[in-house]
Amino acid sequence: MARKKALTELLWGLSFLWGLQALAFSYTQGVASVFARPVSMEKSQKEIEFHPRTIEGIVLEASTGKPIPKARVMAGGQVVLTGREGIFQLKDTSPDAAITVKAPGYAPLGVVVGEESRLQVRLRPFYVKGLYLTFFGTGDREIRGRVLDLLENTELNAVIIDVKGDRGWIAYKSTIPLAQEIGATAVTTMRDPEGLLAYLKERGIYTIARVVVFKDNVLARSRPDLAVIDSRTGRPWIDREGLAWTDPFKEEVWEYNLAIAQEAARKGFDEIQFDYLRFPSDGHLRSITLSRPNTMEERLQAIGGFLARAQPKLLPMGVFIAADIFGYTNWRTDDTGIGQRIEEVAQYVDFLSPMVYPSSYHAGIPGFRFSVAYPYEIVFLSLKRAVERLQDNPIKIRPWLQDFRDYGFDGRLYSAKEVLAQMKAAQDAGAWGWMLWNPRVRYTREALAPKPSPQAPSPREARNKGARDY
């Protein structure tokens, strides 16, 4: 296998004059021109200009030369994926085509094709260092300003923004008919999503749209025919937060959430991250009534079915797909009772995001019962297990880390020490970056390295920019 891979790379290296490289200190698309072998030395310039042709190429990692699978190569409305050897083929491409190459975990690259018919594209890794901006935080000038300050002045290079939050509201005025019908835009917190995204992209910030899927109080209460039903009352079932859920088996629920994801992609988000992509886990579970048998096999098929349908809808739009999963799913081989098993989920997404908060491991893990006291060990061992289980899958693992006070054990405050320990654990386990979670949007600045840029604005200037209404 190693000899075959080396031979493949050698052949491509002989075929191409040189590769392209993208900068990775921020998520900004680089643009470069290459000069490779013309389509045909026998053809006139006029023929080259007006006759579509096939462009072949390979996408490699810049530093190692390893092939990059699942890279998106886009040109003229076409989107193709590279295979395991990183090879792609674009057919019927115009001579003046501009190609964009994107791959999960790498900085994107724009290629000015010119007359070449073969390309070697080299991408540099891009490790997300992100934080979460809540549904209501987006609309609050002070909270938004704090986040923009951190993005401008620290190592952070990504932000996760609620597009559809925990209660089912959509952050901006959606044009989706069902969303308007049920009042999902009655509470909005983003007046100008395009303006906010433009501001972030100008600064090389990678943008992730968080879409809460099956936990949807608005849709479930407005359309009980799509809700999880309480067998005791015949009404929508309610969890411990007093919120209703939609039935994960209902395909109309799938289509509604995928329409929201597509709308977010059109607005310019780089990634769609599906959260609460599962069955309920708390509350009076015995009274749950669903439209199909509540078995592990059926649950796995429902979650997998949703993600399988998401792929063809989102892939042509150039966005990546991520799924949030429980931390314990890295350890369990069943579906944890919620329809999540990492092998099934990993088939359909680009990023798998386990929520490896030490406070959430109520029963601990082998060797570490009091998990909140072991932030490094919990994160490292959980991610290491996931990496081992998915070693034959090119998926990227990028966890959620705890930057909030403990809620499951002794209520201790997580300081920079604990946050840094988790970051190191993620890196040591081979994760592709990390994301910080704090429901109050109060992050531990001391855990974040300063941004290495002499032109970074002052914290006060960054906060003032948050005063603009987005």
In tens, the pLDDT along 402-428 reads 999 999 999 999 999 999 999 999 999
Residue 243 confidence (pLDDT): 98
Q: Specify the higher pLDDT residue, 365 or 455.
A: 365
The CATH architecture assigned to 128-465 reads Alpha-Beta Barrel (3.20)
Residue 94 confidence (pLDDT): 78
Is 78's pLDDT higher than 60? yes
388 falls in which pLDDT band (50, 70, 90)? Answer: very high
Q: Specify the higher pLDDT residue, 135 or 16.
A: 135
Residue 7 confidence (pLDDT): 41
Domain with CATH 2.60.40.1120 in the chain: 2-123
Residue 445 confidence (pLDDT): 98
Is 122's pLDDT higher than 60? yes
Residue 111 confidence (pLDDT): 85
What average pLDDT score do residues 352-368 get? Answer: 97
The CATH architecture assigned to 2-123 reads Sandwich (2.60)
307 falls in which pLDDT band (50, 70, 90)? Answer: very high
11 falls in which pLDDT band (50, 70, 90)? Answer: very low
455 falls in which pLDDT band (50, 70, 90)? Answer: low
User: Phi/psi of residue 225, each to 5°?
Assistant: -70, -15
Q: Rounded to whole angstroms, how far apart are CA atoms 342 and 129?
A: 23
463 falls in which pLDDT band (50, 70, 90)? Answer: low
pTM of the model: 0.89
Instruction: Among 46-60, 202-216, 250-264, 351-365, name the one with the lowest average pLDDT.
Output: 46-60
Residue 109 confidence (pLDDT): 95
Percent of the chain beyond pLDDT 90? Answer: 79
Domain with CATH 3.20.20.80 in the chain: 128-465
464 falls in which pLDDT band (50, 70, 90)? Answer: low
Is 453's pLDDT higher than 70? no
